[in-house]
Structure formats: structure tokens, C-alpha cells
Structure 1
Amino acid sequence: MTFDPGQLGRSKADLAEALGALRRRAGRTQVWLARRCNMSQTKLSNIETGRITPGLVDVELILKALGTPRETAAQMTALARLAHTEWQGKRASWRRGVDKRQAELAGLEAKAVELRYFLPAMVTGLLATPAYMRAGLAHVPGDMSGTLARKLERQAVLHDSGKRFTFLLTEQAVRWPVTSHESMAAQLDRLISLSHLPGVRIGVLPFVLPGVRGPMNTFTVYDERLVTVETFTGRLVFRDVRDIADHLEIFSSYERIASFGDEARDLLRKWAGIYRS
């Protein structure tokens, strides 16, 4: 099934309707199917009415119990993955107000205990200086003063002793001249400073690493329950366990080869010195 942002709005309702239709076509009651899937009849009813979105495991149990043909099962599985995917277009976010996006991010950060950030293109807001933030918001329409203030407020979460942060930044993300050379040197100094916080790990991936899979998208993993993937025109939100597992595996593959601690700080100082010279 190809990706179509318009499909995402209908996928949950389509999945609920399709699962109910499969059961009725098989001539089975909700009570019978719930027992075969080791779930309550109430849960199955909520799945078929769209009040809850079933996970892929639940869908596979239902399909197996109903003896669903392989081709139909593949279509249903693809629909289930779409049901756990959300598209958030940037223009829609701008219309709602960029400040609301900052509130959403603060909510995600407040709920999560372990947060992982893969940053192949730019420094994320939690690590950014005000000058870097302003440069990054230059393309966003409207007055960004309120958004800038909220971005700075969010940075307090880095000092929460109950949370663990891992940031993986490519050399491009660190060195891309988003703002003036003087401000870029200050941004690198900030990364060095933040790397000393007890709950913060900052890893760097320099260009010279041989045979490494090319980085594609910025993404963030919140615990093991949600992934956001950034694109130029918006973001995808994945809640399916398999999509989350795939992104965790990708993150781990880069984490194993990244430079941390003093080694990362030495690289950051070197690059800051280049900007200062």
C-alpha cells in the first residue's frame, strides 16, 4: 500500500469497518471471535466500532481466527499500519499556530522517560541557542517571538533527573551554517556544555566513517511507544510497534559508532575553532 496522507484520516474507520465485515462474512459472533483471540467481547466490539484502534498483533489474531486468505490478510495488515500512522502537515500546523506545536512537544517530552533524537540535518530546539533558533524559524510566517520563548522554556526538561536523553548528530547537522560563523561557534560551545549534564548524552557522527548507511530523516523516539519523523513539508507519527522497533534498530546502529564524551567534545571544539578562525 502506497503512502497517501489523505488515507491516514480514513484508515482507522476503514480498519474497524473491514474487520467487522470479515467476521460477519465468516458467520462468526463477537463472543466466538473474542474467545479465539483471547480478548474480551467488549474490546472486540470497541475495535469494530472504531472506539479503539487495534495493534498489529490483535489484527493478526483476528485474521488467523477467521481463516482470512493471504492476500486479504496482507491488505488488512497494511491498513492496520496506516491506522497507527498520523500525518501532520506543516501548513496545517502554521494555521493552528506554531505555539500549539511547542505545547504538543512539551507534552510528549513530559510523558517520556527515555528520549532518542537522530539529527542528520540540524540541531534540535532542545539543544539550540536563541540565535540558532531564530535562524531556523526564519521560513515560518508570522511573529515568532512567542514560539522562541516556548522553545527556550522547553529546554528546562534537560535538567529533569528522571529522564534520559540521547542525541545523535551528524557532522552536517553540527556544521551546517544556519546562522553567522560567530553564532555557529556559540552553538557548538552550547553542545559541549550540555554534554556534561548527567541525563544527556550527545553523540557525533563525523563524515569520515566508512561504509555507514546514509542518514535520511530526522526522527525522535519517545520511550518505545511513539516515533516522529520529520520531512520538509510535515511529520509522520508512528505508533505501530514494528515501526517503532525499526527506528530503534536504526538508532542503535548509529549509536554504536558515534563518538561520545571527551571524544565528541574534542570534535565539537575543533569545529568551533574553524568557525572562529
Structure 2
Amino acid sequence: MTFEAEQLGGSGPELAVLLRELRKRAGLSGDRLAARCNMSQSKVSRIENGRTRPSLVDVEAILRAVQAPPELVAEASALARMANTEWRNLRELRRKGLGTRQAQLKGLEASSTHMRYFLLSMVTGLLATPEYVRASLAHSPADVSKAVAGKLERQAVLHDVSKRFTFLLTEQAVRWPVVPPLVLAAQMDRLSSLSHFPNVRIGVIPMGAETPRVPLNTFTIYDASLVTIETSAGSLVLRDGRDVRASLQEFAEYETCAVFGEEFRARLAEWAAGCRA
């Protein structure tokens, strides 16, 4: 099955219809299918009515239970992968308003307990000074006033000690001249200050550090349920458990290469002094 990027995340209704038809073709009631799959009948009903997005594991269990023919196994698996992967085009995000994007991120942060951020090239808005936030959006042709306000408003979540945050930044992300040197030094001071928060862990991967793989993208992991991957053209949202576990493994590998605590703050102080000089 071939598909366009814009189709990602939109195959849920088609998948629901296919799974319902396969169950009926197999002569199974919802209760019997639920028993075979070790899931509740209400969950089967929600999946078949498109109210619950099934994981790839759920879909595989259903396909085995109904003894689906190989060609329909391939079709259903492709639809499930599409349903659990969403593409958010940057042009579309700008059309809807970047402020809307900030509201979506705020909702994700509100519903998550442990958030992990791998920052390849820039400081994220949660850690940024107002000057850095404005400069990071300066290239946008759209009105960014709501986006700036939304980014700064979201920073309040860092004070919620019921939540945990782990930020991994490359040295490039910390030192990239998004703003003039004196403003960049103030941004480094803010990172140092935030690293003292009891629920916030910030580390940097220094230039020259050996990493187990070459990082290609900025990404964020929300608990163990969802990953967003940022590209220059837009963002991918991955919900399949295997994708999330792979991202958690990648994050853990980078975490072993980072410096934290006093060593992290010492490096920030050195770089900030260079900016002020």
C-alpha cells in the first residue's frame, strides 16, 4: 500500500471498518473476539466504531483471532501504522496559527508525567528567555505574537513538581547564535538556573563526545505513549509502542554521553563568559 504523508493519521475510520468486516466474515461476535484477544468487549466495540485508536499490537491480535488472509493482514497492518503515525505539515500549522500549536503542546504537557526532550540544534521554548523565543520565530511569515505568548505561558509547567522533565541538549544547541552574544549569555544563565529545579534534569552533550549513533532530529517523548519528531518541513507524531520504545532507547543512549549538574553549569558559565567577552 502506498500513501502520501498527508494521509498519515487519517486511516482510522478505514481501519475500523476493515476490522469489523473481518470479524463478521470469521463468524465471531464481539464477545468471542474479545476473549480470543484477551481484551474487553467494550474495547473491541470502540475499535470497530473508530472511537479508540488501536495499537499495532491490538491489530495483530485481532488479525490472528479472525485468521485474516495474508493480503488483508498486509492491508490492515499498513492502515494501523498510518493511524498511529501523524504528519503535521509546517505550512498547515502556520495556516492554522502557531498559537494553536502551542495550545496542543500545552495539552500534551498537562496529560504527561515524564517528558524527555532531545534538542539537536536549538533551545526549546520551555527553557527559553523571551528574547530567544522571539528570535526563534523571527523567520516565520505569519503573525507570531500568539505563539510567543503561548511558549512563555507553557513554561509554568516546569513549576509543577508532580511532573518530571529531562532535557538533553547538544553543545551546538546551547551555543548556536540564535540571538546576539549578550542575549545568548543570558539564555545560558537561564539554563543554569533551571537546572536547580528538583524536577528538571538538564544535560549537554559536549562537542567531541562519542555517541553510539549520529543524531538526526530533535524529538520529544511523552511518558511511554507518544513521540514527536521535528523536521524543517513539519513534525511526525508516533504512537505505536514499538516506535516509542525505540525512541526511549535512543534517548537513553544519548543520556550516557551528557554531563549534568555542576559540570553542566561550569560549562555554561565558561561559554557565557565567552559571549560576554
TM-score w.r.t. the length of structure 2 is: 0.92
- Deviation per CA, 1:156-178: give whole Å up to 9, x if none: 21111111111000011111111
- Deviation per CA, 1:222-251: give whole Å up to 9, x if none: 111221111112111122211111111111
1:222 counterpart residue number: 222
- Deviation per CA, 1:199-225: give whole Å up to 9, x if none: 111110011112531111111111112
Distance 2:95 2:273 in 1: 41
The aligned runs of 1:64-143 (5 Å cut-off) are 64-70=64-70, 72-143=72-143
Return the offset for 1:195: 0.8
1:144 counterpart residue number: 144
What fraction of aligned residue pairs are identical, expressed as a percent?
Answer: 57
1:52 equivalent in alignment to 2:52: yes
Distance 1:151 1:102 in 2: 6
Distance 2:255 2:3 in 1: 29
Distance 1:71 1:253 in 2: 38
Distance 2:31 2:199 in 1: 48
Against the structure 1 CA distance between its residues 212 and 19, is the aligned structure 2 distance closer, same or farther, given a 3 Å change threshold?
Answer: same
Distance 1:27 1:142 in 2: 54
Distance 1:94 1:211 in 2: 35
1:62 equivalent in alignment to 2:62: yes
Distance 1:153 1:271 in 2: 28
The aligned runs of 1:116-195 (5 Å cut-off) are 116-195=116-195
The aligned runs of 1:231-270 (5 Å cut-off) are 231-270=231-270
Return the offset for 1:55: 1.9
- Structure 1: unaligned runs, 5 residues or longer: none
Question: What letter matches 2:234 in structure 1?
Answer: G
1:26 counterpart residue number: 26
Return the offset for 1:119: 0.3
1:12 equivalent in alignment to 2:12: yes
Question: What letter matches 1:131 in structure 2?
Answer: E
TM-score w.r.t. the length of structure 1 is: 0.92
Distance 2:205 2:255 in 1: 9
Distance 2:61 2:78 in 1: 15
Please provide the CA RMSD for this pair. 2.0
Distance 2:200 2:9 in 1: 36
Return the offset for 1:115: 0.9
User: Is the partner of 2:258 in helix, strand or coil?
Assistant: coil
User: Is the partner of 2:236 in helix, strand or coil?
Assistant: strand
User: Is the partner of 2:220 in helix, strand or coil?
Assistant: strand
Distance 1:40 1:157 in 2: 35
State which drifts further: 47-56 or 156-165.
47-56
